[in-house]
Structure formats: C-alpha cells, structure tokens
Structure 1
Amino acid sequence: MSQSAREVVIEKDRVRQVAADLAARCEGQVNRLARELTQRRFAAIPDYADLPADMRDVEIAATARYAIRQFLRMAEGAPVDEDDLRLFRERAAQRAEEGMPLAHLLASYYIGAEVIWDALVAEARPGELAALPMLARLQLRGTNRVVVAVTEAYQAERAAILDERREAVRELARALLAGEPARATADRFGIPLADAYLVLHLRFAGAGDGPAAGATAGAGIAERRVLRRIRAGLEGFGEGAPLMLRDERGVHVLLPSAAAARLTDLERLLTAAGTAAGPVIAGAARSEGTADVPDASRRAARIAGIAQAAGRPAGVYELGDVLLDYHLTGPGDSGPAVAAALAPLDARPELLDTLRAFLDADMDRRRAAAALAVHPNTVDNRLARIARLTGADPRTTRGVLLCASALTLRGRGGRA
C-alpha cells in the first residue's frame, strides 16, 4: 500500500472514530430527542394527535427511543441485522390494521431522522465537522433500510386485511343469494346489511352462460380488469364496499335498494368500464327484503340473458325493458307485471275500448273506427296516446303482442 493510500485509510478511521464519539455523546439525549420527535410528529401529522393517550405516550414514545438509540449505536460501530427491524415491522402492521395512511407513517420516520440530524449538528465541536458527512450517509442508509422494512410490513398487512375483507364480502353475498341467514355474518365482519337490495347480474358481450363459458384466457383477464373497475366505481352506490360475487352462475352485485334511483349513473359506469372485455349488460331486479334476494337474483339473470340474446347494447335492464320476451320465454311469474303494463289506461276507458276494438279488427283502423262510431283519425290519435302512456305502441309488432297479452291477463286477474 502506498503512503498516500495509508494516509487515506488512517484519515477515514480517524473520522469514523470522531463520528462514533459524537454519536455516543448524543445517547444521553435519547429521552429528550424522543419527546421532541413525538411533538414534531403530532404537529406535522394530524392522525397522530387523534390516537389514544396510552398509544401516544407509551407505545410511540418507546418506538421513538428505540429508533434513535439504534441509529446512534450503529453510528458508534455496533453491528446491525434483520432482527433490529422487528419492532419497526410490528409497529407498521399495527398502523396498517388501525387504518393509518402509509404516507403518514413514513413521514414520521423522516421527522425522526431530522430530529437526530439536528442533535448531531448541535453536538458537533469545531474539530468534528468532518464527521458530519459520514454520519449523514449512515443516516440515509439507515433511514432507507427502516423505510423499506416498514413499507413491506405495512403493505403485507393491508393486503391480508383486504383479502379478509373481500372474502367476508363474498361470504355475505353468497349467504344472501342462497337465501341463508346473513345477519350474523354481516355483524361478524362489520359489513352494513341493507333492508332490501337492487340485485344485478352482469354479462359480457359474446360470453355464454356462466362467467367463463367460451372465454379465452385473454378474455378472462380483460373481464377481471373490468370487474375491478366496476367494483371501484360501485363504492359510492352504498355504504361500504358493494357485495359482489362471481360464481358458476355468473357475476352478481348487490347494492342497497336506494341505488335504484341512480340507474343512469350505474349505466354510465358499466358502459365506461366494459370497453376492455366488450359491452357489459346488467339485468336488474329489486328485492322487497333480504329473504327474496335469491328470487331477485334469478330474475336479474334471466333479464340479462334476454337482453344479451336480443343484441341489446351495454346498459342496465329491468323487467319492463324486456317484459314481453321475459313473459313468453319462461315461467309465468311475470303475469302481474304484464297486466300492469296497461294500468296507465285505467282512468281512460275510451283508450282501453279503442285498444280492444283495434285488436278485434286485426289492426284495421277503419273497421275499429266503425265499431266505435268515431272517425279513423280519432283511432289514430288514441293509439298514439296509448303508446305515450304505456310505452307499448299497439301499431308495432312487439307492442301489439304486449298489449294483447296484457288485456288477456287483466281478464284473468294478472294470472298467466
């Protein structure tokens, strides 16, 4: 080794010893520094001031003392290993469980580094200033080491909490959809249970029955991404996370019944979210309580299937949107709804008489007018009013089928 190299080594050893002596003199200030750290933390980070007194005065203070003492001893030359990070990891997991934002937690460690640095600078004597750059490097490395460990522990705990929460949401949704008692599950996980639900069944364009029928692996990935966006967008449609379940029957969403007043917003969300996996079609049915959620789910699934088979665009569809198809393609639970399609005409007997006469005349407006002893234009005007009031135009194929079915069912008291 050359003379100059030896001199460099000797100088580094001298600076290292000065740094160690400087850190050792600060050890007597650990309690004061911990109090200062805590005060600065409470002033800078509002969440800390709201913590319970025992946590602030005992737990956090003890952690601050431990962190300060650990750095000072490291600066004195003491070896460090992973075991030294255990307390920081435990505290990070606790803060994650309590819901403290990660940014606030990390900010507290940088405040601690600032407090320690201020103490080192204040303690340094004129002949020791050369040791400060070395101490600064040590502090940067030590702070980075702690911040990495804290971040990893925090994120791992949050991931575990989210997994548990998602499973709780799935379990509650599964219970409601199966018609099983759900109150105990909701209470156990602290999930609000609504009095009644708007039940949705989601379908992706081109998919067959079931969530993955005929889907490629790429399509499955796209659908999962879409569902994540939908889940995030649904957060504002009720208290807490939406109840969402994907099973062999498809994708089910349970929203508090008040969400039915926001179908336009819901349709906008689904339309925007469905671009990656194709249009999203949602069948929607309203439950009267929690006991009939299974029936509402079956209706929603059937509505979604009918809308998809008919090539309808992305959107949210209720029974009234596919009423005739629903009534003609399955069990007769839709009879009362079909009969009610003409309810807006109950106060207008002349319109009901015109509708009957029009159907009896095989949709011949002149024959209907003769039977009613009115002008054919009067029949036209009345048919137009019927279409406006009921949404079913008797001058179209679909409208005449619905109107004829409704008249028949009204004669049978709404029974299919």
Structure 2
Amino acid sequence: MTRHNGVEDPKALHIGGRPVAADLRAMAPDLSRRVLARLLDELPVYATLPGEEVAGDIAEIVQQSVRMFADAVEARRVPDETELAAQRRSAQRRAEEGVPLDAILAAYQLGISMVWSQVSAGATSADHTDLRELLAMLLDIQRRILCSVTESYLAARRTIDSEEHSGRHALMAALLSGTEPDGAVRAAPRYAVLTLRLERHPDEDAAAPGVAARRKIRRVREALDAFAQQPCLTAFRADRGTVLMPLDDDAVVLDHDGLRALITDAADVAGAPLTAAVAVADVAEVPAAVARTAEIVDLARATGRPPGLYRLEDVLLDYQLSRPSAALPALAARLEPVAGKPELLTTLRTYLRLDRDRRTTATALHVHPNTVDYRLRRISELTGLSAHRTEDLGELHASLVARQALGDRS
C-alpha cells in the first residue's frame, strides 16, 4: 500500500489490493517497453521512424507519460499544462519532422488503453468505487493530453508552414540576392555567413530517409540558434545548408574557437559529420561571402581535409591554386599520365595529406607499405615528379588541387 513517512495513505486508490500509483511506477520500464513494441507493430509510421529516434525520444516520452499517470493517480487530479510540457515539446518535434498528427494521437490512446488494462487487471467487486474513479481520471487525463498535444502540434505546423512567406524568409532572399531588404524585418549590421555540408545520417539509408534528414537539420538549426542566442536565417536541403548568423554591433571579432566547437557539437547531436566554412560580411557583402564559403567547403572536402570549420585563412594556398588562370590547366596536366589510374592518384593524395608517412598511408588505404612504395615509384616513372624529392612536392600538390578545381574527382 502507498505510505508516506512509513504511514499508509488511506486516500490512495487500490485495485486488487495493490496501490495503483506505486504499481504504475514500479512497472513503468516494462510497461513502456510493451507500449513501444505495440506502437511499432500497430502504427506503421512509427515503424518507419529512424531507429535512433524510436529508442531515444519516443521511448523517453512513453516512459515519462507512464510516470506522469502515476503522479496524477497519486494526487487524484488531472495534470495541468505545466506538467504536460514534455508531451507538448515532443509534439512540436514530431510536427517539425513531418510525423502525422493522427499517428501521434493514436499512440497516446494506445498507451492509455494499455495503462488501463494493466491497472485494472485483478480487480474485484470490492474495487468498484476505486475502479470507477480511476477510469474517470484516466479519461480526463486522456482528454487533456490529446487537446494539449494537438494544440502544440498545430501551432508548430502553423509556424513551419507560414515561415515560407514570413519576413525572415523574405529578408534572407533579399540578402542572398544582394537586393535591399524591404524593411519588414530589420537586417543585422553584419552576418557570420556559413556554408555547411552535411553527410548522411545512417538512418537516411533506412525506411524513412525524409524524416531522418529533417531531424538531422532540425538539430543543427537548434545548435546554431543556441550559439547565436537568436534565430539564424537558414536554407537547408538534406546535404547542404546556408546560414546567416546575425552579429551585433559590438561583435567586433567573431568567436571562431567557439564556432569551431559549435560545429563539432552540432555534428554530434545531428549524428552526421559536418564540414563548414565561415566568413564575416556586411549586408552588401553577403552574396560574395556565400559564394566564397561554398567554394571553401568544396575545396576542404576535395582535398581530403577532415570535417570541421574552415576559414579562408585555413586553405589560402589551395584556394589560390584553384583560381582560374592560364597556369591551371598546365598544372593539372602534370598528372595527366596517371589520370586513368585512380589508385595512384588516391595514394599520392593520401601520402601527402598524411605527412609522407608510408605506414600511416598504407593503413589508411588498407594496403601493404610496399604497395605504397610501388605506387609512388610508378607515379615518378610516369610523370617525372617524385614524392620523395622536396623540390617536386609543391608541384605535385598544386597539380592535385588544379585537377580537383577543374572537376577531376578521381
């Protein structure tokens, strides 16, 4: 029986001689697992959600709801809106991910039905009064939850649907096109302009790639907004994004170290590697900054740099080498003799990136160190340039960058 400070609570609801609230708390983990199993079995949309989401957000809200029922039964009152904050947040997230409202409502109804089946099992005629009160309470809780969740979901959808025509989108369109903002939303004095390359989350290869991609993007957006302490202007697709992060008048220097840590953290929460480039721009400079950061991201990835944040200063030489000029085709042609041998180009690129360490290169390529030596020797025989001669290293590197700048991805 339910006790407080060792004294039995005479007002506690009992079914079959068991205190309902204490029973629900004790069985919450097992009951939550069974509810989750039925959701996956009976509601098709839940079976298509990313595995990480089902095991994380969905499982957490199911168990939290079971414990909320226990608290409500113990207090013998329907939870208020404050106590339903977790359910409201969950509904907002599902709205952002495109999960249908009817599936969410069906999930709560299924869960409440299973709670009732569990607590009413073993009831006897002596439990008639408590059983009636419990049923009435569960129905009131169900009504409150469904109304609160529906309101939160629809509010989120209205925000999402209206954003396409909002002043923020109009402002971003104006900034990207270099036209004068119409004044409906005030532009910031300056922006940190970011281009992001988002690799695929493992769940994007599963049954619900759209949901997984939207979830990944939502988490990245939330991390960026938290860093900026205000909403950023964003345009995302599954693999790429443009972000205009407002900077205040007093933000003389961008916190690059903080932003670099943010990109690392955002990649962690998104569950996918991120490569980003940043430049600070006045309003009139935004279009050029967007083009430049896009080039830097592509250059960082093409030259085998790891995910993370890059500035122009981080890739100065390669950026300059990749600029259109009369010398660019000639530089690219220095490696033309091995153009049809991608294993040689890959070995050279990896060997230079790993500070000319043959053993580390062999490990990265999953080959024997002798194979690395053989391939480097073949490159020297075919091109006349040796990765072992200091005077040839610059030209080899420049030729690789030139080939990538001209579209060779071998």
Band the TM-score falls in, shorter-chain normalisation: 0.3 to 0.5
Question: Normalising by structure 1, what TM-score?
Answer: 0.40
Q: Which has the larger radius of gyration?
A: 1
